[in-house]
Structure 1
Amino acid sequence: MWIGTAFALAAGLMWGLVFVGPLMLPEYPAALQSFGRYLAFGLIALPLGWLDRERLRGLSRADWREALRLALVGNVIYYLFLSAAIQRAGGPLPTMIIGTLPVVIAITSNLRDARRDGKLPWLQLLPSLLLIGAGIGCVNQVELAALQADPDADFGRYALGALLAVGAVVCWTWYPLRNADWLRAHPDRSPSTWATAQGLATLPLAVIGYALTWAVMGLSGSDFDLPFGPRPLFFIGLMVTIGLLASWLGTLCWNEASQRLPTTVAGQLIVFETLAALSYAFILRGHPPGPVTLLGVGLLVIGVLSALRSRPEPLVAQAHPD
């Protein structure tokens, strides 16, 4: 349990980086950032795939199709929604919405995976969910108040950002559940091999997406400096950093956690991503969080620890009356 939690924490620290990318590149279209990140991820996966080629050969066509689906929904579409949401609504609002993932995944998994993982009684699960929800609310209260107080705020733009963030939540509710399905069904397979397989599956999607984005921007007469924008070295460096740390290493750590933890518990540990994203945002701003934010962080941590104390109860099949 604790080793799985440590891997989930490491994944959260890596994944928190994806929230600061759009804030550091506000002039870059969301599509270019999404495809750029996963183009870097796919290129990084190539030498890793060569080193791991023997185990990759053991994957069936069905496995590669699943890797492609996971790459499309959990990588490309998710980050396209998220980066577009951050650019339209700023960092806090999408972070708040994405921060509901632990609750959404825990509830969905408890309804969906009870036969495999056992079922956490709702009364046992409720305190940790309430603590996590209260913590997320506290962390974002100050930020949302600042948005409401801004006379120049474009609430239509914020609403679109919120809708895009909800789309990201849908993608990343589906991804960890399907990813855990494959990992739990293949306990003999290496999580690092599966992370590399997803990177390789992402590469053709990213190449096609980047080329199409480039072509559409060129045909529309955009004055954006193609192919790498007005800050090419910074853009490439940031995409490689996020591709290596958030995409490959983050996925590897999450796969390790998913093989060790019940999906209901693992889903709640995505809260580490929210904590990391908020921490990085405050570092970029150059000032520490206030007391309400610190209270929210405390509630989040207590909620996670409460979740770890919960143990799923196996479902006992009822005997047939005959």
Structure 2
Amino acid sequence: MFTGVLFALAAGAMWGLIFIGPVLIPEYPAALQSVGRYLAFGLICLPLAWQDRRRLSALNRADWLEALKLAAIGNLLYYFFLSSAIQQIGVPISSMIIGVLPVVVTICSNISYSHRDGKFAWRDLLPSLALVLAGLVCVNLAELQGKTHGYDVPTYLSGIAFAFMAVACWTWYPMRNANWLRVNTTKSPVTWATAQGIATLPLAILGYGLVWYQLQLVQPSFDMPLGPRPWVFIALMSTIGLLCSWLGTLCWNQASQRLPTALAGQLIVFETLAGLTYAFLLRQEFPSLLTMIGVMILMLGVLKSFRIKRIMPLQSTS
């Protein structure tokens, strides 16, 4: 369990970078950032796939179809929705909504996979979940207090909708991904991370072409194929593609094979904490007292969850 938690911490530290990407290049449409990130991810995976070709060849058609679904929903759609939300309503409100993921994933996993992983009794689980949620509320209330301007209603509502669609995508992704890894215990998490990158590549290439065509129609002044700051765009997409997509997925896969799905779901809080940390570093600000209190409450909830014992399903003796 300790090793699994460390892998989840590493994944969260890298995934936190996705919150500042849209802030660094706000002039780039969210769709272009999404397909750009995963085009870089797929290209990075090509040499890795060649080195791991023997184990990749052992994956069957159903495995590749599952990798394609995970790539489409957990990669492309999730990052498109999240980038859209951040660009329309900013990091604080977006992170407040994305921050409920640990609670949502844990509840869904405890319902869906208790027959296999064992069940956390709700009376034991709910106090931990309440602490996590309270910590996230404190952190994001502190962020919202610094807002000096509002949003027009259509922009605000569409941004909220995008953020909740991102939550839906990333509730489905870690549960489905963890289920595959828990069932296929003989398969390497490294190979599975690379397989998802390879499955993402054709989708990203097609998506890049569609975004290019759409921009030519609605925003012909936008300098395609790499935008107004090509080297910044390439460097940022490559960094996020390597750290957030491949290495982050690899670490999360390692955690998912070692931890019950319901517990792994709570560890997504590391992504929110990392995102807030990077945002403060980018702003060159020190977090407020309310933010620090929220972080401590949140971590207390996560630590409390480690002490909960699972009720294992009865095994048939016949």
Residue 252 of structure 2 corresponds to which residue in structure 1? 254
- Looking at structure 2, the residues matched to 94 and 210 of structure 1 have their Cα atoms a distance apart, in angstroms, of 25
Aligned residue number for residue 112 of structure 2: 112
2:7–2:252 Cα contact (<8 Å) kept: yes
The offset of 1:314, in angstroms, is: 1.1
Q: Which secondary structure state, in structure 2, belongs to the residue aligned with residue 90 of structure 1? A: helix
Instruction: Tell me how far apart the structure 1 counterparts of residues 200 and 13 of structure 2 sit (CA, whole Å).
Output: 22
Task: Decide which of 146, 153, 156 is 2:154's aligned counterpart.
Answer: 156
Corresponding position of 1:209: 207
| Structure 1 partner of 2:314 | 316
TM-score by length of 1: 0.96
Identity %: 59
Aligned length: 318
The CA deviation at 1:214 is 0.3
Which residue of structure 2 lines up, in the alignment, with residue 134 of structure 1? 134
Q: Which runs of 5+ in 2 are unaligned?
A: none
For residues 126-165 of structure 1, what are the alpha-carbon distances to aligned partners after superposition, in whole Å with 9 as ceiling and x for unaligned?
1110110000000011222333x52x53243122111100
Question: Structure 1 unaligned runs (5+)?
Answer: none
The alpha carbon displacement at 1:114 in A equals 0.6
TM (norm. structure 2) is: 0.97
User: Does the C-alpha gap of structure 1 residues 144 and 155 become closer, same or farther in structure 2, counting only changes over 3 Å?
Assistant: farther
The 3-state SS of whatever aligns with 1:153 is: coil
Aligned to 2:76: 76
Q: Equivalent residues in 2 for 1:1-322 (5 A)? A: 1-147=1-147, 149-150=148-149, 152-316=150-314
Deviation of 1:170 after TM superposition, in Å, equals 0.3
- 1:3 positional shift: 0.3
RMSD: 1.4
CA drift of 1:216 comes to: 1.4
Give 1:13's aligned amino acid. A
- Aligned partners of 1:158, 1:144: CA distance in 2, in Å? 14
- Provide Cα deviations, 1:278-317, integer angstroms capped at 9, x if missing partner: 0000111111100000001101111111111112111337
Alpha-carbon separation, structure 2, partners of 1:43 and 1:194: 16
Alpha-carbon offset, residue 248 of structure 1: 0.1
Q: After alignment, is 213-222 or 1-10 more displaced?
A: 213-222
Distance 1:82 1:106 in 2: 21
Find the aligned partners of 1:166 and 1:241 in 2 and give their Cα distance: 26
Aligned amino acid, residue 122 of structure 1: W
Deviation at 1:215, TM superposition (A): 1.1
The amino acid of 1:198's aligned partner reads: Q
Q: CA deviation at 1:318?
A: 9.3
Deviation at residue 319 of structure 1 after TM alignment: 10
| C-alpha deviation, 1:217, in angstroms | 1.1
2:89–2:151 Cα contact (<8 Å) kept: no
Q: What amino acid is the match of 2:136?
A: I
3-state secondary structure, aligned to 1:16: helix
- The more displaced of 208-217 and 236-245 is 208-217
1:174-199 Cα deviation digits (max 9, x unpaired): 00111011101110110000000000
User: Contact 2:30–2:84 at 8 Å: present in 1 too?
Assistant: yes
